[in-house]
């Protein structure tokens, strides 16, 4: 039971480092890249706080250098998924009973580890296993994940502050508790920060989690789990499994203790998950919470005062950084007619084809479009 009012440290965005030639962060990152490339890791699952190895070892390689072996992860089966469910349910009561400020302290510590001693490691793991450059890895794996943890704690405090009004002579107040069961976190390949946030966000509120990352992000996911354990996360609160996706979903979504899903991925997969939950609704102890992010249409809206050169660069970077493989990739632009001719010329200079016409004609290597307004 809390014995005071607690003001958590103010959440601020983590500053992005430049990695300029000669900078200490550049030297540290290069050394970490060489270190990780020099060894072949064996990556186990983590269930109930313990490393779980199997005989089924799956090779991991950089997408940009497929001949190089980063290591092998231990493929699990449905018995391991059930172990993870059981471990989460075992940890639930004690984790839910822990004071929110103590839970918050664990994730604030994790943020400090990410931006401190683990910064080079999480960035290097993301660069090697997910083919991001130093800048993309820095803003994703280190900075945004730390921001998720710190601002997540702020959101937790804001939720606990939400209390009802009381009539005269009556004091009404809310006490918050976790959901009845476990959360299933299903995370994507393209953002290490999302892979960290989806299992951590519900855990902050006292929930327990079974976490299955994308097969392409297991290498960096193992580093996230290492950080969480070093920060003091109790055993069984977040359980990391590597198993067949459809089989895992079938087992999880048929469990009476399934309490919710936190998902980022394709629209088709999420629709299938939602359909299965609906068909199984009579099995569950409570109505599951369904939270998912799928594909969208992100746009650039240019003001008439925009600098044409800056706008052209922003359009190219917004659409094509990381090959456009992210939910934040710009897929349309609204450009004032007064700017379009100048932007079009500058944009043509940036396109490898150098063709002319509307933007989608101008850049024939693209399937992204622009509209003149």
Q: Do the domain assignments include residue 5?
A: no
The active-site residue out of 25, 28, 226, 293 is 293
Q: Cβ distance 108 to 149 under 8 Å?
A: yes
Statement to judge: residues 280 and 255 lie in one domain: yes
Number of folded domains that form the chain: 2
Co-location of 206 and 351 in the same domain: no
The one catalytic residue among 25, 226, 321, 327: 327
* Residue 196 maps to a domain: yes
In a domain, 11, yes or no: no
SS3 of the chain: helix, strand, coil, percent, to 5: 50, 15, 40
Residues 322 and 264 in one domain: no
Residue ranges of the alpha helices (H) in the chain?
24-37, 78-97, 100-115, 119-130, 134-137, 145-161, 192-204, 218-230, 245-253, 267-279, 308-320, 337-350, 359-362
Q: Do 326 and 295 touch, CB atoms closer than 8 A?
A: no
293 is catalytic: yes
Quick one: 130 and 258 in the same domain? yes
Give domain status of residue 155, yes or no: yes
Residue 327 appears among annotated catalytic residues: yes
Give me the residue label for tokens 């919470």: 289
Q: How far apart are CA 85 and CA 95, in angstroms?
A: 15
Residue 6 covered by a domain: no
CATH of residue 111: 3.40.605.10
Same domain, 125 and 139: yes
Domain CATH number, residue 359: 3.40.309.10
Q: Is 360 inside a domain boundary? A: yes
134, 245: one domain: yes
* 31 and 117 share one domain: yes
**Adjacent-strand bridge partners of 59:** 72
Indicate whether 363 belongs to any domain: yes
pLDDT at 347: 65
For residues 197 and 222, membership in a common domain is answered with yes
Q: Which DSSP category does 57 fall into? A: E
The C-alpha atoms of residue 291 and residue 298 are separated, in whole angstroms, by 20
The whole-number pLDDT of residue 2 equals 65
The answer to whether residues 248 and 285 belong to one domain is yes
Name the domain boundary from 293, 310, 326: 293
- Sequential pLDDT tens for the chain (373 residues): 567 788 899 999 999 999 999 999 999 999 999 999 999 999 999 999 999 999 999 999 999 999 999 999 999 999 999 999 999 999 999 999 999 999 999 999 999 999 999 999 999 999 999 999 999 999 999 999 999 999 999 999 999 999 999 999 999 999 899 999 999 999 999 999 999 999 999 999 999 999 999 999 999 999 999 999 999 999 999 999 999 999 999 999 999 999 999 999 999 999 999 999 999 999 999 999 999 999 877 899 999 999 999 999 999 989 998 888 888 889 899 999 999 999 988 766 555 554 433 343 333 333 444 444 4
- Residue 237: name the closest of 213, 263, 202, 264 by CA: 202
Q: Decide if 242 contacts 74 (C-beta within 8 A).
A: yes
By the 8 A CB rule, do 240 and 131 touch? no
Range of the domain at 222: 25-293
Specify whether 117 is located in the same domain as 200. Answer: yes
Domain membership of residue 12 (yes or no) is: no
Of 236, 268, 293, the residue at which a domain comes to its end is 293
Longest dimension (CA), the chain: 75
> Could you say which of 293, 312, 345 is where a domain stops?
293
pLDDT the model gives residue 370 = 42
For 211, list phi and psi in degrees, rounded to 5: -115, 120
Residues 147 and 244 in one domain: yes
Same domain, 202 and 242: yes
Residue 108: name the closest of 152, 161, 158, 160 by CA. Answer: 152
């Amino acid at each position: 039971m809390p014995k005071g009012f607690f003001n958590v440290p103010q959440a601020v965005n983590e500053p992005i480092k430049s990695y300029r030639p000669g900078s200490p962060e550049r030297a540290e990152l290069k050394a970490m890249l060489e270190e990780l490339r020099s060894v072949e890791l064996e990556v186990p699952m983590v269930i109930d706080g313990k490393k779980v190895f199997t005989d089924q070892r799956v090779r991991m390689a950089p997408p940009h250098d497929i001949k190089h072996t980063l290591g092998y992860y231990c493929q699990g089966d449905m018995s391991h998924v059930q172990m993870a469910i059981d471990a989460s349910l075992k940890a639930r009561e004690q984790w839910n009973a822990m004071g929110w400020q103590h839970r918050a302290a664990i994730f604030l510590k994790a943020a400090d580890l990410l931006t401190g001693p683990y910064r080079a490691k999480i960035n290097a793991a993301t660069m090697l296993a997910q083919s991001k450059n130093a800048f993309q890895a820095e803003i994703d794996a280190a900075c945004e994940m730390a921001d998720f943890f710190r601002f997540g704690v702020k959101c937790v405090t804001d939720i606990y502050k939400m209390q009802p009004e009381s009539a005269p002579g009556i004091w009404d107040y809310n006490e918050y508790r976790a959901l009845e069961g476990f959360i299933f976190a299903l995370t994507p390949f393209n953002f290490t920060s999302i892979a960290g946030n989806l299992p951590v966000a519900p855990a902050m509120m006292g929930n327990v989690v079974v976490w299955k990352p994308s097969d392409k992000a297991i290498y960096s996911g193992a580093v996230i789990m290492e950080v969480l354990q070093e920060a003091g996360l109790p055993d069984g609160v977040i359980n990391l499994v590597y198993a067949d996706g459809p089989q895992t979903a079938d087992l999880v979504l048929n469990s009476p203790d399934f309490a919710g899903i936190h998902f980022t991925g394709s629209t088709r997969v999420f629709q299938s998950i939602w359909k299965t939950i609906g068909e199984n609704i009579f099995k569950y102890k409570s109505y599951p919470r369904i939270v998912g992010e799928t594909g969208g249409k992100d746009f650039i809206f240019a003001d008439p005062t925009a600098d044409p050169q800056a706008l052209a660069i922003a359009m190219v970077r917004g659409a094509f950084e990381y090959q456009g493989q992210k939910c934040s990739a710009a897929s349309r632009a609204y450009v004032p007619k007064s700017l379009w001719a100048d932007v079009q010329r500058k944009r043509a200079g940036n396109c490898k084809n150098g063709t002319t016409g509307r933007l989608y004609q101008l850049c024939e290597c693209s399937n992204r479009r622009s509209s003149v307004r």
